[in-house]
A and B are shown apart, each in its own frame.
Chain A
Amino acid sequence: MEFRDYYQILGIAKTATADEIKKAYRKQARKYHPDVSKEADAETRMKEVNEANAVLSDPEKRAAYDQAGSRYRPGQEFQPPPDWGTGFEYSGDGAHGFYGDQSAEFSDFFSSLFGQAGGGGGAGEHRARGGDHHAKVMIELADAYHGATQTITLRAARLDPAGHVVTEERTLKVQIPKGVKEGQHIRLAGQGSPGFGGGAAGDLYLEVHFRPDPRYRVDGRDVHETVPVTPWEAALGATIEVPTPAGSLRVNVPPGSQAGRKLRLKERGIPGKPPGDLYLVLEVVLPPAATDKARQLYETMAREMDFNPRQGMGA
């Protein structure tokens, strides 16, 4: 496990005052807040910043961290000192003294330093439900149409039999229910943190997001898909085969269709009560005039058809 320099993460000196820490934290929180940040790794960075702030803004934890970290550089292999935890008394209840169970998302490094649950009291003396966990899961749009099984890997803090917090990776196979929408949560009972003193385990909430797919755009349960058509299919009408998240569909293009025309296929969006609709947006694609034959055909149209698309502009 690598040593984490919380001062470096917040961009402050080791001598920083409480006010300076607060100021630096807010600055970083503004930069990396996942709701607004444009940084690619905003979520990871925000967790680091939260973790650094959780330690440095608490005088007791900061003092303990300073003592443990005085001999380390960032990235250096770190082992908690054998006498770790002695000589410090925490007024909170260890890892759970932070905002709810936020510490469940903190690093192994943090867990090794502050993960001793219930500092002083210890597990078993009171009964408490384990904290709920949250994770995001990316699925294909087609999974929302048909349902799917997704394998996800999560890191979570757990109590070992001696009452110490250890971080472990676990792999879960999760049923993605048919009809799930972007941003909706799947709640897995009992898959959060274990309880204390016989208390029930917390739950795991999976927030579902669709993997971006240039073919589809999703709005609630409605799905929009751009469908390329030939000029003659648009002008004369045709029955065309369209791959959709619901599978391949045969669709009638009405004669006289223009580019941008929307065909609404009722209840072919994401299933549910009520199901969404599928909108096919027609995109007329011109064949290239790359051969003599193609050029002749365009020239015939130019000659024979009385058509001026700029008429409405006064041209």
Chain B
Amino acid sequence: MMTRDDILTGVLLDEVALSLDELACACAVEPNWIVERVEAGFLGNVAAGQITRWQFSSTELARARRLAAVERDFEANPELAALVADLIEEVERLKARLNAAGLPLA
């Protein structure tokens, strides 16, 4: 029985990758939803044709959740959600570079 004082130790994603089913569960979508977006090139960088061996990283979990949220919240089609996610990720990268250079965002 776990008590309040027990310290939980998790695994760091990327040290351990997510399988297709695990990613689907984590995004609350059907595995087929993931497969469609991987095959369309919107998600992940995995070799086609070996679905059971697909592995997903922490970055891909964040992207998959973002795609799902944009599709759901705006009833966006997958192409548009992928475009939005690309743009958000690009802005995040540029913000990180500005931040690393010590420059203000605005």
Contacts and interface: CB of A to CB of B under 8 A. Distances in A.
A145 B22 CA distance: 29
A35 B88 contact: yes
A188 B30 CA distance: 21
- Interface size class, chain B: 35 or more
Given A50-B73, A149-B7, A219 B61 contact: no
Contacts of A202: 25
B97 A174 contact: no
Contacts of B96: 218-220
Contacts of A191: 8
Contact of B73 (A33, A185, A219): A33
Given A36-B88, A100-B28, A102-B28, A175 B10 contact: yes
A186 B12 CA distance: 5
B59 interface: yes
Interface of B: 4-14, 16, 25-29, 58-59, 61-62, 65-66, 68-70, 72-75, 84, 88, 96-97, 99-102
Contacts of A101: 28
Interface of A: 22, 25-26, 29-30, 33, 35-36, 46, 50, 99-102, 129, 131-132, 134, 149, 171-175, 177, 179-180, 183-189, 191, 202-207, 217-220, 222, 224, 226, 281
Contacts of A177: 9-10, 12
B10 A100 contact: no
B58 A217 contact: no
A226 B101 CA distance: 10
B7 A174 contact: yes
